Structures are given as C-alpha cells and as structure tokens.
Structure 1
Amino acid sequence: MAVDDDGAEVSVEREPLLLEAVLSVGTDLELRATLQHLVDAATELTDAAYGALGVMDPDRGGGRRLTELFTAGMDEATRAGIGQLPCGDKGLLGVLIQDPKPLRVADLTADPRSCGMPAGHPPMHSFIGVPVLVRDEVFGNLYLTEKRGGPFTAEDERLVRILAAQAGIAIGNALLFENARQRERWIEGAAAVTTALLDGTRSDDPLMVVAEQARKLAAASAGVILQPTDEGGMEIVAASTQGDPGALIGTTISPGSPVLEQLLGGQAVFVDDSATDPRMTTAVRERFGPSMLLPLQSGGRLIGTLALPRTRGARAYTPVERLLATQFASQAALALVLADARQSREKLAVFEDRDRIARDLHDLVVQRLFATGMMLESTQSRARIPEVGTAISRAVDELESTIQEVRTAIFALQQPPADAPTSFRGKVLKEAAGAAALLGFKPSTRFTGAVENRIPEPVATQLLTALRRALATASRRPGVAQIRITVDAQIHLPDGREGVRLTVYDDGDTRGAHGTGSASGTDGTRGTTVTSQWPL
C-alpha cells in the first residue's frame, strides 16, 4: 500500500491510479506541460468533473494572488464565459491562500466562507483544495470540484496530497530547467545584440536592433525604445512589433506623468495591466497588458527606456523574466554606448584623413600651381611675339581657375563629415556650417521664394559650386567678421525669364572676387559682394 505524509494508507484498488498519476506528472521537463499534467492527473484520480491549478506569484504587489490558472474539464467556450482570472483573495480560494492547508468541503454553496460563482461559471458543489509546495514554498493550489457519485472522501484528499507532494518535486525540476533555458536564451540574445552593434558592420538603427531582439526574447507583443524629449517628456523613437509599428512611433509620455519621474531617474517599472494602471497615460496603453519598462543606462548615462508590453490578458512576467530582462537592458545599453563611441572614432578618422588631404593639397599642389603661375607671368613680360604672350596669358588664367577649384575642394574637405542633407535649403545651411568651422562664426543665410520647389537639380548644383567658391575665397581674406548668404528665387533676368540669384557678401579686405554664371564683384579696401544668377 502507498502511505501519505501522515501515515495514512491508500487502498490497493487505487494504488495503480496513483502511481500512474505520479508518473504522468514527472515525465516532462517542460514547466507548463508539467502543470497541465498535474491538473489532468488529479482530476482523473479523484473522478472530479473539474480541476484547476492556480499559480501564485508572491512578488506581486498586494499580497499573494493567482497569476495563472491551468484547468481540466472545461472547454474554451466555458473558460471564455467565466471571464478574467480570479484574483484568489476572496472566498474559499482566499482561505486556501491565507492558510495553505488541505481543505475539503461537501457543498460550496452552503459554506459561509464561499463568495459565490461569477456569471457563466459552471455549477459546483463538492470541493477539495490542496497547496502545492516547491522547496517548502507555496507554488500554487490544486482545486478539484464536482466529484461524480457524491462528495469527496478522506481517501480522495489523501490521494491528492500524495500527488501534490510528488508534483512539487517534478515542478521544482521543471522550474530549474525552465530558468536555465530562459537564462541561456537571454544571454544568447544579449550576445547577438552586442555582436550586431560592434562587429564593424554599421547598423542602420542600433536602437531598432535592441528593440527587436528584446521583443522576441520576452515573448512581448512589442519592443519599443523611448528617449527623453526637449520638453521634459519621453518619446517612442524605435518600435518592433509583429504588425505595423507606425502607430507607436512618436507616441509621447507628457511631462507630469506619474511614471515619468521613475523612467527619467533610470528606475525599472513593472506594470500588471497597462490599460488600467493609473501611472500609464499614453494613448496606446489600452492595447497592452503586462509590461516592463527598463532603463537603458550605462556609466551614469541614460540612453532611454526599453519597454516590453504584452497584449491584454497575456501571462504576467515572472520574477525571473524581470531579472533577465533588466540584465539584458544593462548589457544592451553598454553595447549602444560602445557602438556610438566606435562610430564617433570612425567619423573622427574620416575627418582627420580629409584634413590631411586638404593640408597636402594646400601645402603642395596649390603652392606649386601658384609658383608656376608666377613663372609664366614673368615669362610673359619678356615675350616678344604677341601670339606667345596671348597663349601665356590664357595659361595663367587657366592656372588661376585651377587654383580656385582646388581651394574649393579643400574647403569642402575641411567640413565636418555628416549625413548629406536632401533639400537644397539644407545643403546651403550645411555649406554655411562648414564655413563656420574655418571662420569661427556662422554666416547668416536668407531665402526668398520657394527655393525647395522652384530650383531644379542642375541649377542647384551650379549654385552650390558657386557658393563653395565664394566661401572659400572669403575665408582666405583677412579681417572677415561677417558673411551674408542670400538665395532669391523670385527674380526676373534681363531677358524676362524667371531666375534665381545667389549673393554672398563679406566684409573682409580684398582686391577682387570671382563669380560663376552672371557674376559681378566690388573691389575696394573693405567688403565684397559676389553675385551669381541662373534661369529657372
């Protein structure tokens, strides 16, 4: 005969059923499969119509409560009719949670401790509840109702207690296996993010890499990155979802939100239900349930927040999942910082290389061209044949033009490397910013007319070339303290056609100026205006 913890014997007739139930519970290392096996085996062992295993999470706020329910004897339609998961803090379920001891009731409806059944719940009368212990801690409670043929007996209770004790061992092993597998997955995921960001292949969006990998690891419905805004809030700047992430990008947490102070302070926030939690104020919160908001922080620098929401009604995050996700966020933040530093070093190397090329062009090529031009001018003064003098004059002009082109190239090389702007206005502003790096001040810019829509690409290219030449010339003149750039797309040319005019004024000392297209220069001791214009 089998004997329970109190020494009570189990009848010989039911020993095979008990052994079969124990074996079925311990045959799988998959946690969720083990829990379902336990409910099915207990229901069959006691000939109950319904069975359930309520899993508890002691780390959740508000005391011990049910976080997940495994059932037997109920189809999907019945479960859907019952509604949301019972919290477990009321009625006989609450009694079993507060006092984890076996509980057997002949009729639920007649027990004063019962709080009744929700609408849509099947009628139930007889009841057995037994706690399931894992390493001397209550993991959950096993509930059995509606024994066929009469109320549950003392032997039924002993059978369930033995099964629950054996199941505790199987669940403990399954938990260890599940935790080890989860840790392995999160470690591999963190390594994959680090490799993707630091292997030398530049990612188009490092934040997206982190968001997508975290979403997959957490089995979340979305993985999003929020970053602080200038107004003091936070905004979603990257989102990975199974569907279209467009509705999430740009969503903001406004200043004054209860959760914002925690996020900006680099604190992790765990939410049971985003749709009902008063701390959540975004317009998309109704779409989500359990959520983790984890700081992306490294070396005291807050990069942003990684949010991992699940759909409404989804399983809550376990303490192990919260810990692993927090560790992943810390490692991902470090990888983002290192990736940013690597990209900065690459940009610096490019800038240093361009600066070296510019110096070589200026110190070697320009000086030699200038010296050659002086030699030709000296030869021209001694030339006795007019044709020879004319040819030398043309050669000198060509050298001066070549020098100007080389200096324009030098000026472009000395601009800081950056992503090229796509609009004409942005390109003009970029040229002005590049000149500021050499001049020590930023030239002023003014645009008149629809410069974005009216200027075709070929004309824009000529305008930018003329602008570079004018800025390069101005940067070499002494005493320049002011430069004004004007682009006017509302002019009419002398022949009546519509046109665009570029005007570059500087207040430095000069003896001449060069323009492109229709150009005019003002010679004098102070101030030069270079004007270039083209038909549209």
Structure 2
Amino acid sequence: MAAESGGAHPAPGGDHPPPGGSRPAPGDDRPAPEREPLLLEAVLSLGTDLELRTALQDLVTAATRLTDARYGALGVVDPERSGGPRLTELFTVGLDEAAKARIGDLPCGDKGVLGALLRDPRPLRVDDLAADPRSCGTPAGHPPMHSFLGVPVLVRDEVFGDLYLTEKRGGGPFTAEDERLVRILAAQAGIAIGNALLFENARQRERWIEGAAAVTTALLSGARSDDPLLVVAEQARLLADADAGVILQPTEEGGMEIVTASTHGDPADLVGATIAPGSPVLEQLLGGEPVFVDDSATDPRMTTHVRSRFGPSLLLPLQSGGRLIGTLALPRTRGARGYTSVERQLAGQFASQAALALVLADARRSRERLAVFEDRDRIARDLHDLVVQRLFATGMMLESTQRRAVAPEIGTAIGKAVDELESTIQEVRTAIFALQQPPVDAPTSLRGKVLKEAAGAAAVLGVTPSTQFRGAVDSRVPEPVATRLLAALHHALAAAARRPNVSEIRVHVDADARLPDGRPGLILTVDDDGGPDGTTATSQWPL
C-alpha cells in the first residue's frame, strides 16, 4: 500500500491513480442490515483500549472487515513537517512482513492518490487506480491494487491521518455505502484516537518529567556526577527512544564536537566527530536554536561522518541564563518514525531543565573544591607554622645537647635522633607541598608528578612510599631529565611490588647532588625492606 514509488509499508492504492480523477458524490445508500452489527461492534471496540498504537491498528482491521477490503492502511500525518503534511507512520492489514520488505521505505504521501488525499482531506473513491491520471506508479514488489477508498480521520477538527482501503473482494469498486460506513467509523475513531492521544501524551509527559527529575537528582546529589554530560545524554536517549544520546560542545576553531555519547553499541566512533565551521546548521546550534531533522543521512545541513547511520534527529540547545553549555542531539536509526510535535516539545523542556541542573551541579562542585582548597591551605599552614617549627626547634636543642654530651654513645644516639627529625621535617614539607596541589587536576610540577606516581603505587604495594625532596627540584630539572626520572621511579616501584614482605619504601629525589665525576646532578634513590637485606635502586643524571 504505497502511494508513490519508494513507499514502504504499503498504503493501499497510494501509487495507483483513481479513475476519472473525480470524487463521487455520496450516495443515498443506507447500511445494509447485515453490516450494522459489524459497524456497531467496530465502534464499540474502538473505545475499549487507550493504547494509541493498538487503537490505530484496530481501526484498520475494522475498516477492512466492514468494507470487505483485501488491503487496509492508516497513514499518520504530521502537518508540521517542512514542505507540507507528510506521512510519518503506516499501520497496515493484508500485508505480511515479507511483502512490506519488498515494497521498501515508508511513502511520504506527497504525490499520487495519497498526495491528493493529503492536499484535499475529503473522502475519495476510485474504481481503478491504474486508470487515474494522478497515478505515479507503484514500487517494485507492490501487490496489484485497483479499487480504492480513502477517508480522512479527524481528531478535534484536525487531520490526524488518512484511512486507505483497496482491492474490494469480488473485484468490484467500493460503493457509496462502503464510503458512508467508513466515514461513520472514522468519525467514531476520531473520538477514540483523541482520548488515546490524551492518555499517550499524559504518559509521555510523566516519563519526561520523571526523567528530568532523575537527572537533576543525580547531578545535584553527586551520586553519578563523575561525567554529568553522560548522565544527561543517557537519560535523554532512553526517554526519546533514540538510537543515541549525544552532547556537542563548541570548539576553539568555531565548530562543534561530540564530547560524550550514550548508545546501544560502542560510542567510540561518535565521540570526537565534529561539525566543521561553516556548516549550515552550525549557526543555529551556536545561537542556541533547536534543529529538527527528518533524515540525518540525506539532510544537506548535517556534515558529520556518522550522519549516514541515523534518520530523524533532534538537536536541542543546553543553555541556562544565557550560557550555552552545548547541544543535546537525539538521533534515531534510519527508517524509524519521526519525532512528533509533543516529543519535540517535551525534549526541549528536558534540555532546558538538564542545562539548569548542569549549571547548578557545576556551581556545587566549584563550592566543594573551594572548601577543599581552603581546608588544605589551613592544614598546610598549621603544619608549616606549628609542626615544622617545633620539630626544627627540637632538632636544634638536641644538637646543642649532643655537643655537651660526655659519653660517646649518648652523642651517637642524639645524632641519630637529629637525623630522624631532619627526615621527618622533609616528609612534612613534602606533605605541605602535596596539600597545596589541586586535588583533581593533573600535576604540572615534577614534585607533584613524583607524589602522584608514589600515591598510585600505594594501591598496588599496600603501603604508601615515604617521599623526600632536596634542592630546587621543580626549577633545576629540565623536562627530558624529569621524564627519565619518572620512568625510573615507575620501574623501581613496580620492582618493589614484585618483592615479598615489603612493608616500607623510601623515595628520595636530590637535585643538589654531586655525581661521582664531580658534576652537579640529580639522583633518585628508592629503598625498600623487601628481601633478606632490603633493596636499593639508584639512578642519576647530570644537570
């Protein structure tokens, strides 16, 4: 039942022209008594199910039984499509899946007999489609169809769709009585479909509201905020029944790039795809305007290399308070049904609320980071002003006592205590330095990188290495030497992890060292207590 070539889910007589090209005037026939029970049964059955798709399929089935038609179809019309009203879905009777596959894509309804009914939504009867001048041919694999009856289905005085019936059994044309019966059925169906639409829209709104609330809760509670954009993309994909949920953000070059994606498969081929500057759709996206696409694969505005995979798509701005965070894209697979006006509206509202949640979540994380920084600064100041000063003063007192000690063994013991205090002071200063580093950012200094490497090894070793620095490590060590030092440190810590019974590891980085040949240099020493006598790994580089 396709109305024009290329139609998929055939619409009866869609591509076959009606003979004579005129609409017969309604006859004075009255429903035959034997068909009145069928009509009554069909009318009653239409109001028993609030499930929209079930109600639409029941309507087509009832109409074919009522008129003794071999094939029937109901084409759902989207009046808001660019270029005029078009069919977005087709519910059929009389065609199995194999026949639908042979016919091909869904007819758009812009030509042929279906197009005539879309342009002039009044009942239309055709005795022989093949003889009608409006015919534009049938797709390959389409079953032969001759007689045709088309009736619009109105919901609250607006065209919801068109009911198509073809091939009256027995070979004759549809009669005025058939037309009247179907018009009565379509009028009653309009009421039932209106109720089902209200129920369907209410359920959709409930789902989208619950989904938006779930995103807001997840982002603001911090429960799933490791990747806030992915939370939004995943929830939107599920709500929209889309093949993917994608977030795009502006690039420095003036384009937009997919920064995160939620999809049924591997999102790796989506992340990183870019819309180059100059793309026709880019100005709308950067301006925060929504973009609705009927078919991403064929729309010239879509330029990403992944567009061929998708069909209907929504591209919605994520903006709040004049701030554009990015664009939420919700593409469906090729051949999938298009987005309805209600879905577009609900998705737009979801995007606005999600953008607000992202802004609030970002502000919350900034406040938390600030509180952490302030707390770390306070601890670092306390360590420096109180602990280090007291340890230093204690060391001075012990050195003075050592000079006055009479017994050599007492002087030696005091000397060891002084050395331990100096070592402790170095470790406290290292801890102060670590506290001054941003907790979530990657370290940029050599000290920070060494500390990060040691902290990472602690998870494997089960013990946190003690780390000490001597000299101007960050300013004296060039980048190539720093890279080699980090590699040597990683190797030494990995070797320590393989040794049994390691309970203590000491890392010492000396930028004031003298190499054996007298040159100034950098020496890395990693000691551990594993093995019979412990192990020491030493690496050195000239500076």
Both structures adopt the same fold (TM-score exceeding 0.5): yes
Q: Secondary structure at the match of 1:416?
A: coil
In the alignment, what sits opposite 2:270?
248
1:287 shift after superposition: 0.8
Judge which range, 288-297 or 371-380, deviates more.
371-380
In the alignment, what sits opposite 2:336?
314
**Is the Cα–Cα contact under 8 Å of residues 446 and 482 in structure 2 kept in the other structure?**
no
Q: Which residue, 432, 457, 465 being the options, matches 2:490?
A: 457
In the alignment, structure 1 residue 282 sits paired with structure 2 residue 304 = yes
**Is the Cα–Cα contact under 8 Å of residues 197 and 336 in structure 1 kept in the other structure?**
yes
Q: Secondary structure at the match of 1:133?
A: strand
Higher relative contact order (CA 8 A, sep 6+): 2
Q: Which residue, 408, 412, 416 being the options, matches 2:438?
A: 416
Identify if the C-alpha distance between structure 1 residues 411 and 448 changes in structure 2 by more than 3 Å, giving closer, same or farther: closer
1:49 shift after superposition: 1.1
Amino acid at match of 1:156: D
In the alignment, structure 1 residue 267 sits paired with structure 2 residue 289 = yes
Judge which range, 420-429 or 192-201, deviates more.
420-429
Listed as ranges, the gaps of 5+ residues in structure 1 are 432-438, 474-485, 504-514, 518-531
Amino acid at match of 2:61: D
Q: Which residue, 98, 104, 125 being the options, matches 2:119?
A: 98
In the alignment, what sits opposite 1:191?
213
In the alignment, structure 1 residue 349 sits paired with structure 2 residue 349 = no
Q: Which residue, 425, 446, 449 being the options, matches 2:479?
A: 446
Q: Write the mapping of 1:128-207 to structure 2, written as runs, cut at 5 A.
A: 128-149=149-170, 150-207=172-229
1:276 shift after superposition: 0.3
Q: Which residue, 321, 335, 358 being the options, matches 1:336?
A: 358
In the alignment, structure 1 residue 373 sits paired with structure 2 residue 395 = yes
Identify if the C-alpha distance between structure 1 residues 121 and 426 changes in structure 2 by more than 3 Å, giving closer, same or farther: farther
1:402 shift after superposition: 2.7
Distance 1:259 1:10 in 2: 55
1:367 shift after superposition: 2.1
1:98 shift after superposition: 1.4
In the alignment, what sits opposite 2:384?
362
Distance 2:289 2:439 in 1: 36
Q: Which residue, 39, 59, 70 being the options, matches 2:80?
A: 59
**Is the Cα–Cα contact under 8 Å of residues 501 and 533 in structure 1 kept in the other structure?**
no
In the alignment, what sits opposite 1:119?
140
In the alignment, what sits opposite 1:72?
93
Q: Write the mapping of 1:26-41 to structure 2, written as runs, cut at 5 A.
A: 26-41=47-62
- Render the CA deviation track for 1:428-447: whole Å, top value 9, x for unaligned: 6989xxxxxxx9x9888421
- Render the CA deviation track for 1:289-342: whole Å, top value 9, x for unaligned: 001111111222222211111111000010101111111111111222222222
Q: Write the mapping of 1:217-228 to structure 2, written as runs, cut at 5 A.
A: 217-228=239-250
RMSD: 3.5
Paired-residue identity, %: 77
Q: Write the mapping of 1:484-523 to structure 2, written as runs, cut at 5 A.
A: 502=522
Q: Secondary structure at the match of 1:447?
A: helix
**Is the Cα–Cα contact under 8 Å of residues 22 and 166 in structure 1 kept in the other structure?**
yes
Alignment coverage as a number of residue pairs: 476
Distance 2:350 2:296 in 1: 22
Q: Write the mapping of 1:372-391 to structure 2, written as runs, cut at 5 A.
A: 372-380=394-402, 382-383=404-405, 388-389=410-411, 391=413
In the alignment, what sits opposite 1:86?
107
Normalising by structure 1, what TM-score?
A: 0.80
1:378 shift after superposition: 4.3
Q: Secondary structure at the match of 1:455?
A: helix
- Render the CA deviation track for 1:482-508: whole Å, top value 9, x for unaligned: xxxx9xxxx9x759xxxx9538xxxxx
1:466 shift after superposition: 4.6
Distance 2:127 2:447 in 1: 83
1:189 shift after superposition: 0.9
In the alignment, what sits opposite 1:21?
42
Distance 2:485 2:316 in 1: 42
Identify if the C-alpha distance between structure 1 residues 111 and 380 changes in structure 2 by more than 3 Å, giving closer, same or farther: closer
Distance 2:28 2:451 in 1: 88
In the alignment, what sits opposite 1:399?
421
Distance 2:390 2:131 in 1: 108
1:403 shift after superposition: 2.5
**Is the Cα–Cα contact under 8 Å of residues 502 and 533 in structure 1 kept in the other structure?**
no
In the alignment, structure 1 residue 42 sits paired with structure 2 residue 75 = no
Q: Secondary structure at the match of 1:60?
A: coil
Distance 1:147 1:318 in 2: 33
1:57 shift after superposition: 0.6
**Is the Cα–Cα contact under 8 Å of residues 237 and 249 in structure 1 kept in the other structure?**
yes
1:240 shift after superposition: 1.4
Distance 1:264 1:36 in 2: 42
Listed as ranges, the gaps of 5+ residues in structure 2 are 1-25, 454-471, 497-504, 527-536
Amino acid at match of 1:334: L
In the alignment, what sits opposite 2:469?
none
Amino acid at match of 2:53: R
Distance 1:6 1:47 in 2: 19
Normalising by structure 2, what TM-score?
A: 0.79
1:186 shift after superposition: 0.7
**Is the Cα–Cα contact under 8 Å of residues 424 and 452 in structure 1 kept in the other structure?**
no
Judge which range, 204-213 or 387-396, deviates more.
387-396
- Render the CA deviation track for 1:115-167: whole Å, top value 9, x for unaligned: 33222221111111111110001111111111112111111111011000000
In the alignment, what sits opposite 1:511?
none
Distance 1:452 1:221 in 2: 47
Distance 2:486 2:408 in 1: 51
